[in-house]
Amino acid sequence: MTLDARKLPAGFGRLWTAQTVSSLGDGVTHAALPLLALTLTRDPMALAVVTAAGTLPWLLVGVLGGALVDRWDRRRTMWVADAARAVLLAIPAAATALDVLSIPLLAAVAFLLGLGGLFFDTAATAYLPDLLGRDPALLQRANSRLRGAQTAASGFAGPPAGSALLALGRAVPLLADAVSFALSALLVRSLPAAPRPTGGARESLLRQARAGASYVFRNRLLLGLALRPAVGNIAFLAVETVLALFAHDRLGIDTFGFGLLLTAEATGGLLGAGVASFLGRRLGTGTALTCTAAVEGLAILGLAVAPNPYVAGLALAVCGAGMGATMVLAPSLRQAIVPARLMGRVASTSRMLAMCAAPFGAFLGGWLASTYDVRTPLYAAAGLLLTMTAVTSTMTSNRRVEAALRAAATADDPDHPESRDPVQKSAV
**DSSP per-residue codes, 239-306:** HHHHHHHHHHHTS---HHHHHHHHHHHHHHHHHHHHHHHHHHHHH-HHHHHHHHHHHHHHHHHHHHT-
418 falls in which pLDDT band (50, 70, 90)? very low
Tell me how far apart the alpha carbons of residues 73 and 193 are, in angstroms, rounded to a whole number.
8
Q: Give residue-wise pLDDT tens across range 91-144.
A: 999 999 899 999 899 989 989 998 999 999 999 999 999 899 888 889 999 999
**Which region, left, alpha or beta, applies to residue 202 given φ > 0 means left and ψ of -120 to 50 means alpha?**
alpha
53 falls in which pLDDT band (50, 70, 90)? confident
Q: Identify the pLDDT of residue 255.
A: 66
| pLDDT, the chain, mean | 87
152: closest CA among 326, 20, 340, 254? 20
**DSSP per-residue codes, 92-104:** HHHHHHTT---HH
**Range 158-178 average pLDDT:** 85
Better-predicted residue by pLDDT, 423 or 390: 390
Evaluate if residue 277 carries a pLDDT over 90. Answer: yes
Q: Identify the pLDDT of residue 201.
A: 56
Q: Identify the pLDDT of residue 332.
A: 95
- Residue 195: phi, psi to the nearest 5? -60, 135
Q: Give residue-wise pLDDT tens across range 326-380.
A: 999 999 999 999 998 899 999 999 988 988 887 788 888 889 998 999 999 999 9
Q: Give residue-wise pLDDT tens across range 278-296.
A: 999 999 999 999 999 999 9
Evaluate if residue 243 carries a pLDDT over 50. Answer: yes
Residue 342 three-state SS: helix
Residue 347 three-state SS: helix
Q: Identify the pLDDT of residue 417.
A: 44
Residue 190 three-state SS: coil
166 falls in which pLDDT band (50, 70, 90)? confident
- Burial (CB < 10 A; 0-12, 13-18, 19+), residue 205, is middle
Tell me how far apart the alpha carbons of residues 286 and 300 are, in angstroms, rounded to a whole number.
22
**Range 78-97 average pLDDT:** 94
Evaluate if residue 185 carries a pLDDT over 70. Answer: yes
Q: Identify the pLDDT of residue 190.
A: 93
Evaluate if residue 384 carries a pLDDT over 90. Answer: yes
pTM of the model: 0.82
Q: Give residue-wise pLDDT tens across range 10-37.
A: 889 999 999 999 888 888 887 777 778 8
What kind and span of H or E run contains 69?
A: helix 56-71
Q: Identify the pLDDT of residue 68.
A: 93
